[in-house]
Structure 1
Amino acid sequence: MPTNTLSKHERLKSYTKIRALFNAGHRMKQFPLSIYYLFEDKKGVEGKSEVLHMGVTVGARNFKRAVDRNQLKRRIREAYRLQKSELRAQLETSSFTLDLFFVYADHQIADYSVINVSVKKILAKLSEELIVKQTL
């Protein structure tokens, strides 16, 4: 049974990693989310190191109240937490690590079901891209 946790070791917090992700990473859109992602080779990474890191942001320009931003971030993290197990299993058997950063791009607060579908489609596309990268 996969563990559906989201520990602090899985969160993308390093300023240098986030900056590299936005500068050198790729971008994918799936309304209402936009995602930045970067596949990297495992370079002597030990077994306990995480292969999948994620971050979330919701712009203060679109949502003035922090309670609205926090609600959207919780919804995105929850949808990701419940659906990441398949992608994580693929990454553990591959020679890549993946950094993700979700950006909420809408001006309205979306329901959890909309965000859940969007995250599911994004993770499916990333899974397909990982398969293509492994064959190269």
Structure 2
Amino acid sequence: MGTFTEHSAEEQPLSHRFQKEERLRSKKLIDQLFREGSSFNSYPLRFVALHLPQESQPPVQVLVSVSKRYFKKAVDRNRLKRQIREAYRLNKHLIPQLNTQGGTWIIAILYIGKEKNPFNIVSKKLNSGLERLLTK
């Protein structure tokens, strides 16, 4: 038979979905993030983060970007963005520790490297960047 197991309602694991509400799409918030946010690098990634005191639906909103300057082909940019989103999705369980004082965190994850890196390196750097955000 199949190897899939059924979970009851009490045993539901933490949701690892990267839902639409978690994506940063507001032009106003993006401008505010880059104007007022603090940033640091975890090469090949750059993190820009800003805490907003007002409470909104998602506790964290994330923006992922890859430079067109270094990756001319959309195929390469899209692959790197998929890798970053997947690494974030798998490590986002660290984020609730960030939100101890309430409000909303908005985070931009920018790929600043000039070469394509494998997923394990991107994931490791994203994880270390999220941990650094927690200690700030």
Stretches of structure 1 that go unaligned for 5 or more consecutive residues are 130-136
Shift of 1:94: 2.9
1:60 is matched with which residue?
A: 68
C-alpha separation in 2, matches of 1:51 and 1:8: 13
1:94-133, aligned counterparts within 5 Å? 94-129=101-136
- Compute the RMSD of aligned alpha carbons: 1.3
Please state how far the C-alpha of 1:97 moved relative to its aligned partner.
Answer: 1.5
Give the partner amino acid of 1:60: K
Instruction: Give, in angstroms, the shift of residue 88 of structure 1.
Output: 2.5
User: Equivalent pairs: percent with the same residue?
Assistant: 31
TM-score (norm 1): 0.86
- Is 2:40 aligned against 1:38? no
Measured at CA, do residues 90 and 102 of structure 1 come closer, stay the same or move farther in structure 2, by a change above 3 Å? closer
Report how far residue 89 of structure 1 moved. 5.1
**What is the Cα deviation at residue 58 of structure 1?**
0.5
- How far the C-alpha of 1:101 sits from its partner, in A, is 0.5
Give the superposition deviation at 1:125: 1.1
Deviation at 1:87, TM superposition (A): 1.3
Q: How does 1:66-81 map to 2 (within 5 A)?
A: 66-81=74-89
Residue of structure 1 aligned with 2:25, choices 7, 13, 37: 13
> SS state of the match for residue 69, structure 2?
coil
Distance 2:94 2:14 in 1: 9
Q: Which residue of 2 aligns with 1:133?
A: none
Larger radius of gyration: 2
Scaled by the length of structure 2, the TM-score of the pair is 0.86
Give the aligned partner of residue 36 of structure 2: 24
Give the secondary-structure state (helix, strand or coil) at the position aligned to 1:84: helix
Q: Matched residues in 1 for 2:134 and 2:19: separation? A: 21
Instruction: Report the structure, 1 or 2, having the larger helix content.
Output: 1
Find the residue that maps to 2:107 and give its secondary structure: strand
Task: Give 1:64's aligned amino acid.
Answer: K
1:83 aligns with 2:91: yes
What is the total number of aligned residue pairs between the two structures? 124
